[in-house]
Amino acid sequence: MFRYFENLIDPYAPVPEADAPPRALWPFLQEYSRPFTKLFTLTALISVVVAAVEVGLIAYMGRVVDLMSQGSPSEVLSRYGTELLLMAAFVLILRPAIQALDVLLLNNALLPNYGTVFRWRAHKHVLRQSVGWFENDFAGRIANRIMQTPPAAGEAMFQVFDAITFALAYLLGAAILLWGGDPRLLIPLAIWFALYAGLVWWTIRNVGPASKAASDARSMTTGRVVDAYTNIQSVKLFAHEGQELDYAKDAIEHTRRTFAAEMRIFTIMDVALVTLNGLLIVGVVGWGILLWSQGTASVGIVAAAAALVLRLNAMTGWIMWALSSFFRNLGIIAEGMETIAQPIALTDATDASDLTVTDGSIVFEDVSHHYGGTQGGVTGLSLAIAPGEKVGIVGRSGAGKSTLVKLLLRFYDAEHGRIAIDGQSVSSVTQASLRRAIGMVQQDSSLMHRSIRDNIGYGLASATDADVEAAARRAHAHDFILALEDSEGRTGYDAHVGERGVKLSGGQRQRIALARVILKDAPILVLDEATSALDSEVEAAIQDTLYGMMEGKSVIAIAHRLSTIAAMDRIVVIDEGRIVEQGSHDDLLAEGGLYARFWARQSGGFIDVAGEAAE
């Protein structure tokens, strides 16, 4: 039974991907709620039925009181016994069945799936964002919004059907009941409802912004805390625990103040609500007694009215809390939308096709990119790399080397110019096919907090264990992998490496990254300081592997250690975003220019950036 209701909605059913989701709250909720339209309708209907049953029971209890005054017990039972037995059967059988259907729809069909749809679609959308988008925000804040928005959305929908729909139906039923007893009993109920609606309006108007502010503050606190944990080595290295505590304390204190402001609203609401409910009880019950004393209302009507207002008294706090919770959760959703609903800025062209690499030629034509500013990046850069050519890129830090690679991978769109692979513009092919065609080893080889096998296998989804081990052997990583053991007792290729691979040394991480790219075996190879974390002995041992990886591929190799690129077919020197020299190692040394000065000043094989900059 549970499985049937849990499977009424498939939260992973494919939906058209929108590059620009709705930015307004209600259209956004409507878009995400589209698969639930029929379920919402059925749930609302059952909620109304549940409310009608509750009001009907109160009305019938008033009838029971009147029946008991119509004769002796034996006379009443003989005349109305069948009716009472049928009502008992309804209360014992049908009422629980209706209530069970209501809670099954809410708890088992709606809640688990609604939040899952939000979390799945939000994560899917955020993963499509560009690298630059992620570089402009805290990873912790992004993750916090992805995680807190779905339960808030689920809770908001739960309140709609568990409380709001039920309450409206219950109030309508109460009005009908009082009207049937004596229309004058509606007067205190109407006055109370007007005052109650005013209190609801005041609460909603204030709790939404207050909740959003509190949610913003929580996300900021999470971002700062996660930033410290992610960079814990730097925190410890510079002995800045105190500074990080102060940095976090500012956010934590801001969170406390915003939450306290939110709670003031609920305190005012609770005190006002108790006062209003007192007016309701005295007004309806007192008026009922007055009507009874005048002989215009029966004891049963007064009893039913009293039971009804006492029930409303108990419900109003719950309803008010449900309403405030509903709008508080809308505030959390609105805060989450600042991340989830951001449009995808870097998208595939509508007619984009997969990249087809035939030869591996790479052309940069008058490319300029300054990350939206006026400095940094590259300016008017043109470079042609022939099929199978190995090109080394050299330059000071900030000269534009990494920008060149990011543009090739289309982590950013060039602000001017064109980049093409085998004549196909990188902006006209799908991003996935472009990046599948390029293997890259970065200077900072961060790994997933997964097993060694998973990390190497990341290079090729279809790889077997034998393929993974062969790649590790070629990267001279197999021996140290066999000696690994993590805190859970997993060993070898099953050992987990910690967040970003922190349980491994820099050289070990680099060799795992090399194995991953070896396994990928892409036709274009980019090496961004690929051996910077390796000691000389290990570097020498895998040098043949690196040259073997380059065989038959077009290669771009960025290096400060000039010895690693001296044997390239061509070396390109970039300075301040422009190509200033290019040629073979020997030719550039003979020219006596910037590369020759780099070579002369290098220390331990690395460019002496400080010495060169001092000239």
Confidence at residue 615, expressed as pLDDT on a 0 to 100 scale: 42
Any idea what the Cα angle at residue 241 is, between residues 238 and 246, rounded to 5°? Answer: 125
CB 374 within 8 A of CB 421: no
Whole-number pLDDT of residue 404: 92
Q: Tens digits of per-residue pLDDT, 120-146?
A: 888 888 888 888 888 787 777 888 888
Q: Inter-axis angle of helices 139-159 and 25-33, to 10 degrees? A: 80
What pLDDT is stored for residue 418 in this prediction?
Answer: 95
pLDDT attached to residue 533: 54
Instruction: Find out whether 288 and 297 touch, Cβ atoms under 8 Å.
Output: yes
First to last CA, the chain: 79
What are the residue ranges in the chain where pLDDT is below 50? 603-605, 609-615
What DSSP character marks residue 443?
S
pLDDT of residue 319: 72
CA angle 336, 104, 167 (to 5 degrees): 70
Hey, is 262 helix, strand or coil? helix
Per-residue burial over 431-442, b if 16 or more Cβ lie within 10 Å, else e, is bebbbbbbbbbb
The stretches of 365-505 forming alpha helices (DSSP H) are 401-408, 431-436, 452-457, 465-474, 478-482
Look up the pTM and report it.
0.72
Q: How far is CA 365 from the centre of its chain?
A: 38
Furthest CA-CA distance within the chain: 123
How far, in Å, CA of 523 to CA of 421, rounded?
A: 11
**159: which 2 tokens?**
């309140």
Kindly list the domain boundaries of the chain, sorted by start residue.
18-340
How far is 419 from 434, CA to CA, in rounded Å? Answer: 12
Please provide the DSSP assignment of 536-553 as one string.
Answer: HHHHHHHHHHHHHHHTTS
How confident is the model at residue 531, as a pLDDT? 64
In terms of DSSP H, where are the helices of 136-240?
A: 139-159, 165-181, 186-230, 232-237
Close Cβ partners of 125 (under 8 Å, ≥ 6 residues apart): 17, 21, 340, 344
259 token code pair:
């939450």
**Torsion angle, CA of 515/518/522/525, rounded to 10 degrees?**
80
> Judging by beta carbons within 10 Å of its beta carbon (0-12, 13-18, 19+), is residue 551 exposed, middle or buried?
exposed
pLDDT at residue 389 in the model = 94
Dist CA 101 CA 87 (whole Å): 20
Output the CA–CA distances (angstroms, integers) from residue 95 to 43, 50, 328, in the order listed. 16, 8, 32
Q: Which fold has domain 18-340?
A: ABC transporter transmembrane region fold (1.20.1560)
